[in-house]
Structure 1
Amino acid sequence: MGSLGIVGPLQRLDIQAVPRLLDAMRRAKGPIEEVAGFIR
Structure 2
Amino acid sequence: ALEEEMRIAAEELRFEYAARIRDEIREIKEQFGTGARR
Q: TM-score, normalised by structure 2?
A: 0.40
**Larger RCO (alpha carbons 8 Å, 6+ apart):** 2
Higher helix share: 1
Which structure has the bigger radius of gyration? 1
